[in-house]
Structures are given as C-alpha cells and as structure tokens.
Structure 1
Amino acid sequence: MKQTKSTPRVWFITGASSGLGLEFTKAALSSGDKVVGVARNIAPLTELEKRYKTTFKSVKLDITERVSVFEVVEEAINHFGKLDVVVNNAGNMVLGMVEEFTEGDIKQQIETNFYGAVWVSQAVLPHLRKQKSGHIIQISSIGGILAGPMTGIYSASKFALEGFSEALAQEVSHFGVHVSIVEPGGYWTNLYTNMQFTTIHEGYNPVREFLETQNDESKDSHPKEAATALLKLIHNEKPPLRLILGSHVFDAAIEHELSKVKTWKDWETVSRSAEKAIPHPEN
C-alpha cells in the first residue's frame, strides 16, 4: 500500500500522554494524520480528544502486559482501519550504580523499556506484513549507544532495544516495513522529573563525588524539536535504521564509535590470532 500525501497516516504511539510522546501525538494530529495514543494515565489526553474528535483516540494501556497490548492494537485497527506508523516511546529511567540495583529495580526497567517495545512490535507486525507497508519507530536514547556511571541498567534496556530492532529491521524489510531506531539526547520531559534512583551504597560515594565535579555543558531542548525531526523521518521514502537527535549527543556518539574502532585496531593482532579454522570435532 503506497502512502500518498493526501492519505492520512494512522499512528500508534505509546507513552503518548507526556514528554516526547505527547509532542509526537500533537505533531501527527496537526499534520492531518490520525493517532491512537496509549499510556498508563490518559487523563492528560482529554483535551486532544475534544479537539480531534474524529482523528484521535486515547486508550489506557500498560505496555508490560502482553495480552493487553495485543488487545489494544486490535482495538486501534478496528477503530481506524489500519496502522501506518508505530512509535514505541514509553519508557522510564532508574539511575544508580549497578551493585545498588535490586531485582525489582532491574525488572521494572527492562520490562518497560525493552519488553514493552517487543510486545507492541509483535502485535502490529501481522497487520503491517499483510498490508506490505508501515514504519516502526523505536525511541532509544544516547544511552543506547554508550553507557556511563549510574546508567548501566538503563543502557542495558536500550542496548537490548537496539539489538532486537536491528534484527527486526532486516526481517521485515522483505515485506515493505521499515524500522528506525531514534536516539534522542536531552529534552525537557518528565523522564527526568519522574526519574528514580537506587538506594545509595556508601561505598560508591567517591564515584558520586567525582561525577559531581564533571561539568555538563549540554542544554536540553523542547520536545517539539524532536517531533519535527520525527515527521521528517516518517515522510522519507528510505528512512535510516538509526537517527540521532541533538548536536551534543551526535558528537558524543561519533567520538564513542571512533574510540571503539581504535581499540579494535589496537588489539587486531590478538583478535585475528584467536581464530584458526579446523574441521568439525565430531568428524
């Protein structure tokens, strides 16, 4: 199914009631598209439903509940007849040293940031494959490219998201379905205001003291800027697998990747010496 300018797209956006998700929703609706916005708390979406009575539908959903995800996706398709753009945006952040995390802390982070996106992707794919079109957008983070002190588990969830999405992109490209991993930098959203922290282990006080001495010159942006970029992404006929949002994180990502390449090159001799093909041992 070829998308034309005159044909409104139908979006399915998770975490649509605040932050980036809310701006994505507003941008899509303002452009004339239709949106199903899902969130655990849909009260902030009431005004949008009044304003866009025929093009917007909000649904309460906990994306960590797989059965509910499949039910809501079916409801969305029954309501608007199709889906074109799926934005896995819902997420949370718990910061702390790896040793400080409880089992519950880790599960909460992984279930929302990783499993939720997997469930939504699985739920929409039968429909996208059948119509031979569609665009799944995974909202990752600069934390999906590099990790630092206190971001270990958050980055683990985003690394997992990026790994499965990279494989997914290759699997579904045969059906005309695109997958893009969006890696935003700093935006003024409630991801930070609702951010949680682990219980502090005093043994890591020196690390925290060191981190406090580091100067962070980055300045966060309004999430509208990310929404504008997202519209450019979905209107491109050949969207990229990855898209970084923000100059500060763009530079940080390039520097990080170049550092990785340098390390690989420095240890190239050892790496290559560790391989010597032999016949299968059972033969």
Structure 2
Amino acid sequence: MTSRTWLITGANSGFGRHLSEQLLSRGDRVVGTFRAAGSVEDLSARWPDAFRAAHLDVTDPAEITAVVNEAWAALARIDVVVSNAGYGLMGAAEEFTDEQMVHQIATNLTGSIRLIRAALPHLRRQGGGRILQLSSVGGQAAWPGGSLYHATKWGIEGFADALAGEVAPFGIDVTIVEPGGARTNFRYGGSVLADRIEAYDGTPVAGIRRILTERTTQGIGDPALMAAGVDQDPAPRRLVLGSDAYQAIENALTTRLADVRTQRESAEATDAPLEGVTTGGPADLDAEKRDM
C-alpha cells in the first residue's frame, strides 16, 4: 500500500491516538493536533520523521487556519483529514450554563466545520482526498441527558452529508464515522457533567448522571479495532462501529421511518394544486441528482 499523509485533530488521546499510532506503524505520515502540552511527545520521539505535532484549539478560528495552511505548506499534500476533536457535555438542557453550551457547540460543531472549510481549498487544488468526520451513535440516536451533545452530532452529520454532494465533483470523499461506546477516556475523561438540578433526580436524566459519577460501566467497543476499521476504500457515507451503535441506530431509524409512513396521506393533503406550478422542494432536488 502506498503511504499517505493524514491530518488528525485530537491525536493525543482516544480514537485519534489509536488511529495515529496505527498509521505511523505502517509507514504513513501524520500531522497530529493536541491541546494538552506533552501529550504527543512520545509519538514525536518514536516517529520523528513521520509525525508532525501541532497545537490546536478547535474553538480558535485563526489557529485552525494557521495549522491547516502550515501543514500543507510543509508536506505539500495531505490525503486524509480526520476531524476528531470533541467532547461530551451531559445533563439536562436546563442544567447547562450558557458558557458550557457555547463551548460545546464551538468544539464539536463549528470547530469541525471550520477545520473542513480550511482544508477544502487545499484538497480541491491537489485534485481530491478524503474527509473523515467523527460523529457518534449519538448522531443518529438520542437519549435524555445528552441533548446538547446530540445537537452537535446531528448538526455535523447534516453538514457532512450535504458537503459530500458539494465536493464529490472534485474527487473529495466524505465519510461520517459513528462509533458506539468504546473503551477510551471519552466517557470518564472526555465528558463534562452539568451541575445538578434536583428536580431531574427522578427523571431519565438521572441515568447519565449516575453513569458518569459512579464510573462502573465501560463501552463495548475496542478502540484499536475501531480505528483500524475507518480506512476503507471505497468507504460508505456513514460508517457504523460497534454492535451497540448498530442496534441503536437501526432502532432509531426504524422508529422514525414508521412514524413518517403513518403520515403519508396527511402530508400529501397539504400540497398546493400543481396546475401551472413549478415546484422546487427537496423532492425536486433528489430527482435532479438522480438525473445527473
């Protein structure tokens, strides 16, 4: 296999760390970003010629642009951009502070969007490449206690899904990665729990609070196997990793589809008469895509 060059945000821990180590071990080059000082020094020491470390806070738009531009200037070509940095903010929607809400969205959603936007001109000029956007089972299914986290993951999935159609003419592929629970530090090291409002103690929100405070559970997924599974060619638009993710996503989609199907007649009843009318809604866009 020809060696490739990757840009991976959040390369210092969890999924990003496993992926970086696997790629470097097989001879690829990695630009790995980090926030915590000293968290990737061992990678730099072990692979001094193949690993390039870069500090990056994805809530800083100027730093995103600088890191991306500097990476391309130094390496000439980057084949795969992995938007991986993120964390979970958990609790009832009413429990979050405004500052927590803004930071969660800035990290998981707008940070990912800015990273990809910064990379797109380079990917276009080099004639193609691949974008891997890390989402979650929580990008397709949702549970009480994760409302804001789900908002960021559902949001980035919508962005990436539409983006895929925009950049396909340039030879740029987009894959949304949807892992389930994994045995990384995300659950107990990469999640923030909002301050408790007692009124929610007897509600479903208490479940996520109990998990994060008692620390007695762990994910079913093997992060090394998950990392190994992302490098597929051709790759699906959405890549589900973990049996728990598969089951939860299948259940969520089946339920939503069943709900939609009960509304066919009532939905059609709201259409305007078609005589002399040119429509331009989502169905027409889908038809145009099929005709292309």
TM-score scaled by structure 2? 0.87
Q: How does 1:94-243 map to 2 (within 5 A)?
A: 94-194=89-189, 195-208=191-204, 211=207, 219-231=219-231, 233=232, 236=233, 238-243=234-239
Cα distance, 1:217–1:48 mapped onto 2, change above 3 Å: closer
Partner Cα distance (2:82, 2:65) in 1: 15
Partner Cα distance (2:13, 2:109) in 1: 19
Query: 3-state SS of the aligned residue for 1:20?
Result: helix
Task: For residues 103-153 of structure 1, give each alpha carbon's deviation from its aligned partner in whole angstroms, at most 9, with x where no partner exists.
Answer: 111111110001111111011111111111110000000010011100100
Specify every segment of 5 or more residues in structure 2 that has no aligned partner in the other structure, as ranges. 278-292
Compute the displacement of 1:218 (Å): 7.8
Specify every segment of 5 or more residues in structure 1 that has no aligned partner in the other structure, as ranges. none
Cα distance, 1:111–1:209 mapped onto 2, change above 3 Å: closer
Residue identity in the other structure for 2:226 = A
Partner Cα distance (2:27, 2:37) in 1: 21
Q: How does 1:240-255 map to 2 (within 5 A)?
A: 240-255=236-251
Worse-superposed segment, 185-194 or 107-116: 185-194
Contact 2:44 2:51 in 1 (8 A): yes
Task: For residues 165-185 of structure 1, give each alpha carbon's deviation from its aligned partner in whole angstroms, at most 9, with x where no partner exists.
Answer: 011100000000001000000
Cα distance, 1:202–1:227 mapped onto 2, change above 3 Å: same
Task: For residues 7-39 of structure 1, give each alpha carbon's deviation from its aligned partner in whole angstroms, at most 9, with x where no partner exists.
Answer: x21100000000101001001111210000001
Compute the displacement of 1:210 (Å): 6.9
Task: For residues 190-219 of structure 1, give each alpha carbon's deviation from its aligned partner in whole angstroms, at most 9, with x where no partner exists.
Answer: 22122211111111111048748x999984
Residue identity in the other structure for 1:260 = R
Contact 1:42 1:58 in 2 (8 A): no
Cα distance, 1:268–1:40 mapped onto 2, change above 3 Å: same
Partner Cα distance (1:42, 1:178) in 2: 32
Query: 3-state SS of the aligned residue for 2:40?
Result: helix
Match for 2:11 among 6, 13, 16?
16
Contact 1:162 1:181 in 2 (8 A): yes
Contact 1:17 1:42 in 2 (8 A): no
Partner Cα distance (2:169, 2:160) in 1: 15
Contact 1:29 1:55 in 2 (8 A): yes
* Match of residue 82 from structure 1: 77
Compute the displacement of 1:265 (Å): 1.1
Determine whether 1:46 maps to 2:41.
yes
Query: 3-state SS of the aligned residue for 1:138?
Result: strand
Compute the displacement of 1:221 (Å): 2.6
Contact 2:230 2:239 in 1 (8 A): no
Partner Cα distance (1:217, 1:62) in 2: 30
Compute the displacement of 1:222 (Å): 2.9
Partner Cα distance (1:126, 1:35) in 2: 20
Residue identity in the other structure for 2:250 = I
Q: What do you get for the CA RMSD once the two structures are aligned?
A: 2.1
Query: 3-state SS of the aligned residue for 1:64?
Result: coil
Residue identity in the other structure for 2:7 = F
Residue identity in the other structure for 2:269 = S
TM-score scaled by structure 1? 0.90
Residue identity in the other structure for 1:221 = G
* Match of residue 289 from structure 2: none
Determine whether 1:59 maps to 2:43.
no
Structure 1 vs Structure 2: percent identity of aligned residues? 34
Partner Cα distance (2:206, 2:154) in 1: 26
Partner Cα distance (1:131, 1:209) in 2: 47
Compute the displacement of 1:60 (Å): 0.7
